[in-house]
Amino acid sequence: MTRMVPTGIDRRALLKSSVAAGAALTTGVAMPAIAQTRPIKLGYVSPQTGPLAAFAEADNFIIANFKETTKAGIKLGSATLPVEVVVKDSQSNPNRAAQVAKDLIVQDKIDVMLVASTPETTNPVSTQCEIEEVPCISTVAPWQPWFIGRQADPAGGPPAWKNFNYTYHFFWGLEDVIAVFTNMWSQVPTNKSVGGLFPNDGDGNAWGDKQVGFPPVLEKAGYKLTDSGRYQNLTDNFSAQISAFKNANAEIITGVVLPPDFTTFWKQALQQGFRPKVASIGKAILFPVAVEALGKDGNNLSSEVWWSPNHPFKSSLTGTSARELAASYESATKKQWTQPIGFVHALFEVAVDVLKRAPQRDAKAMVGAVAATNLDTVVGKVQWSGANLPPFATKNVAKTPLVGGQWRVKDGNKYDIVITDNRTAPNIPAGGKMEAIG
């Protein structure tokens, strides 16, 4: 005979209560004590393959270091428990990200979800955690695509600005990257004509949004933006965009572009005789390998800098400085440091801090601990205090500092990024001034 679950009863809650009751009956031990003896399980999702793979280049290093740091376990209350990290690859695909998140929750039974790197990964994972009522901490996506991108009204109306109960995010916002970019642009004499490269994805739609993105802020600051329209990622022909920018006499280019797409755009632009004075590009040229792929044509390209060896912060887990962490990565991998190192490390810092303050590992207790976080990490202070945020985002978003930098050739085709504007975060030292692209 088939047993029916009565309507109106949450299946997940029913399953939890049934398991708890069964365990209590068969063991005679209260569930909190059982929970205290099992290993801590952290789920981690990032785009380890596909066009966004550069964001996850340092993952293996960071996770190996974390496992070494916590090999004796983490003390939660009176117990010291082993830690397991279950890693999943989103393959740079939002549908895949949602599926592996569900697998981590349902099959692996993780305690906390950690997720990094662009809205295409952070958003579907966060949404899955919200549905399943599992604490989730995310980073490496501007807060607007993460928060506003998950507010869509199914009926097609305006966002309702609902808060989230289980998902929390730390990073910077579009207001910060716009300030950083315009601060850098002000150092180079230009005609203030800007060409915008905004793809049809979570980042591109947010950056190009006429209400919360670049257009209204640039207009107010006296810039003329030529938005060439949304293009599909992994396109192989940017002639239409280049033609529009040339017709507008754009001396500045900006946008948020996949690494392979910017390589295609920049090579085609130079071939077609279009060389702006400034190119400040999010996402695409965050990584040394992406700039090196351009050879000498990568010199003086600029981008936001969320983390670098020059950031004056230390890890709450190990006491390691930003400079020491970057040097350790370079020594272990023989590769140049990359910006996500700091933020992936900080994800695990926050997770451990939260678990120590919610040793019972009850989901609601843990999200309460996340909300109460006040932690100095290797990327700066992480605190969901609502500072410098609009009222609707204060619960779920914490902001971290942002500066701007420019890539300079140092040895052959090897590049280093020089922080060229720190007005948004004066405690992070600048190393030079902006130069026009030659």
pLDDT for residue 139 is more than 50: yes
Q: What is the pLDDT of residue 386?
A: 94
Domains of the chain: 1-31 (no CATH), 38-172+310-399 (3.40.50.2300), 175-305+402-421 (3.40.50.2300)
Global pTM exceeds 0.85: yes
* pLDDT tens for each residue of 346-392: 999 999 999 999 998 999 999 999 999 999 999 999 999 999 999 99
Cα dihedral value 405, 411, 412, 414, nearest 10:
-50
pLDDT for residue 315 is more than 50: yes
Of residues 407 and 157, more confidently modeled: 407
pLDDT for residue 77 is more than 90: no
Separation between Cα atoms, residue 33 and residue 147, nearest integer Å: 37
pLDDT for residue 198 is more than 80: yes
Banded pLDDT at 122 (limits 50, 70, 90): very high
* pLDDT tens for each residue of 287-314: 998 899 899 999 999 999 999 999 999 9
* CA pseudo-torsion sign 321, 322, 325, 330: negative
Banded pLDDT at 212 (limits 50, 70, 90): confident
Of residues 411 and 222, more confidently modeled: 222
Q: Are strands 278-282 and 193-197 parallel, antiparallel or unpaired?
A: unpaired
**Residues of the chain above pLDDT 90, percent:** 82
Q: What is the pLDDT of residue 91?
A: 98
Chain centroid offset of residue 8 CA: 37
- CA nearest to 146, candidates 121, 123, 164: 123
pLDDT for residue 199 is more than 60: yes
* CA pseudo-torsion sign 212, 214, 216, 221: positive
pLDDT for residue 3 is more than 80: no
